[in-house]
Amino acid sequence: MKAIIVMSASDNVGNAIEDIVKGDTVAYEVDGERRQFTALADIPFGFKAAVKDIALGGDIVKYKETVGRAAKPIRVGECVHIHNVEGKRGRGDLTEVQA
């Protein structure tokens, strides 16, 4: 059993506080309730795992706030990082319409 920390119940990601390997059972607690899922990828210490399914373009929520949007559909247990998330702010590479 491996552990992640989910900062708030409305978050859809949590941070690994140990090195998680694909196939590990991962547990976390929100609002006093213990939940678990199976890791679909390696999630090293400090990296994020999805604790809810996130649709393409959906908000990534951490600290009850939006920290980016899904660049691909993301399933519970996947690693959430630059390969499947993009930022919304400071996007000099996009025109305003795209942003």
Partner 1 sequence: MTFWGYVRPDGSVGIRNHTLIMANGRGAANLAALLTKLVAGAKCFVQPNENGRDAEDRKTIARTIVGLARNPNVGAVLIVGNKKNGGYPEFTYEAIVGEIEKSGKPLDTLFMADCGGFQQAVGLGMRKARTLARKASEVRREEVGLGRLSLAVKCGYSDATSGMSGNPVVGHLFDRVVEAGGTCLFSETTEVIGAEHIVAKRFTEEAERAKFLAAVERVEAEARATGEDIRTINPIPANIQAGLTTLEEKSLGAITKGGTKPIRGCLTYGEIPAGRGLYYMDSWMSSTALFLGFTAAGSVLNIFQVGGGWFTTDAMMPTANTGLVAPTLYMTGNPRTFEKAAEEMDFSSGTVITDREPIAAAGERLLGEVLGNASGRLTKGETMDVNDNLEVYLRGPGL
Question: Nearest approach, Cβ of 42 to partner 1 (angstroms)?
Answer: 12
Answer for which of 20, 26, 60, 74 binds partner 1 (CB under 8 A) is: 60
Question: Nearest approach, Cβ of 49 to partner 1 (angstroms)?
Answer: 11
20, 48, 49, 59, 84 from 70: Cα distances, Å? 22, 13, 13, 6, 6
Which pair of tokens denotes residue 17?
């506080």
Q: Report the alpha-carbon distance of residue 43 to residue 66 in Å, rounded.
A: 21
- Residues in contact with partner 1 by CB under 8 A are 5, 7, 15-17, 44-48, 60, 62-63, 65-68, 80-82, 85-94
